[in-house]
Chains A and B, each alone.
Chain A
Amino acid sequence: MTNLQSPISNLQSPETQSLWTALQDVTDPEFPLSVVDMGLIYGLQREGETVCVQLTFTAMGCPCMHFIVDDIRARLLQEPGVANVQMEIVWDPPWTKNRLTAKGRERLQRLGMVV
């Protein structure tokens, strides 16, 4: 995968829509938000039984990287017809709070965070 797609355009793709919905079940271990609403998912593609995920982390020293990767893989493998999950870690463009979805931003604000 070389071409990054925004979550919004991917959400409109019928073949990946269920995958984006599935990833709403995967929460960031440090915030009460899904990895989608945190803006960690940079791209999602499905090719037959294989799902390719491009994701980033808020920090390179994020201690939760392995948890997040494992949780994403486990959840996607529960989807019908998915047998393989390939992960690609993307660092550019770097994550900023601008990656939060409107829902994610609203929720963090309700919790008193300045975003």
Chain B
Amino acid sequence: MITQPTWIVQLADSKYLLGRRFSEWTNRAPALEAAVAAAAMTQDEFGHARGLYAMLQNAPDAPEAYLEQERRAQLSGAPILEQPFRNWMEFIAAVGLFDRAMTLTFEALLDANPPTTAWSDPLRQRAAKIAQEEWFHRQYGAGWLRQLAAQTKTRDAMQDAVKRFWQPTSDWLAAMEQAAFADGALTGNQILRQRWSDETKTLLTQCGLTTP
């Protein structure tokens, strides 16, 4: 029997939860353009989640309704995404840190050349599309991060938001990498979190922010 790898479910649920959090800012963002971007990114995250759920539906032991998230008793996404963002700075920290961590996971899945499993091909297919679409999220997050860090009135709140997301994102990514490695989907371990950490530290330094 093909079982559903728990880490893929967690990845899909995290995508879905991030979309939910983004959606809460489609009418609260600090500018009309930002609200439109939040809506576009919501649509992207939901699309990624649904693409993964559709893949998971093929497993015989799949939960009854992956495609109707509200019917599931509990989601297994990252705990940091379970509560609404308290301000726009947390929205940007989620984009710059957590969304990027998820994308690095998909990029690693694309780069890896694991032994063929039931999930290899469908997952790589989706990873290719997700990596393409996330390019914009990365640019957007970095741009806003620089802007908010440069302004006196938002700098401290941006730093606080980074601090709030840093450790939970790092822990989530480490667990995700370990699980994917154990499942044979990634050929290396303890690499992804370091890559994320190095890349994010560079960005934060460029913005004049400190790494928690």
A binding-site residues for B, Cβ under 8 Å: 59-63, 90-94, 96
Contact = CB atoms under 8 A, between A and B. Distances in A.
Contacts of B48: 60-61
Interface stretch (B128-136, B175-183, B190-198): B128-136
B46 interface: yes
Nearest to B40: A61
A61 B130 CA distance: 10
Contacts of B128: 91-94
Interface string B114-134: 000000000011101110110
B125 A60 contact: no
Interface of B: 43-48, 50-51, 124-126, 128-130, 132-133
A2 to B, nearest CB: 9
A59 B132 CA distance: 10
A59 B124 contact: no
B125 A91 contact: yes
A56 to B, nearest CB: 8
Given A91-B129, A92-B129, A60 B47 contact: yes
A1 B43 CA distance: 29
Contact of B47 (A62, A92, A93): A62
A60 B124 contact: no
A50 B191 CA distance: 46
B44 A91 contact: no
A54 to B, nearest CB: 11
Contact of A59 (B125, B126, B133): B133
A92 B46 CA distance: 19
Contacts of A92: 124-125, 128-129
A92 B125 CA distance: 5
A66 B194 CA distance: 40
A59 B43 contact: yes
17 contacts: A59-B47, A60-B47, A60-B50, A60-B51, A60-B126, A60-B129, A61-B43, A61-B44, A61-B45, A61-B46, A61-B47, A61-B48, A90-B125, A91-B51, A91-B126, A94-B128, A94-B129
A60 B43 CA distance: 8
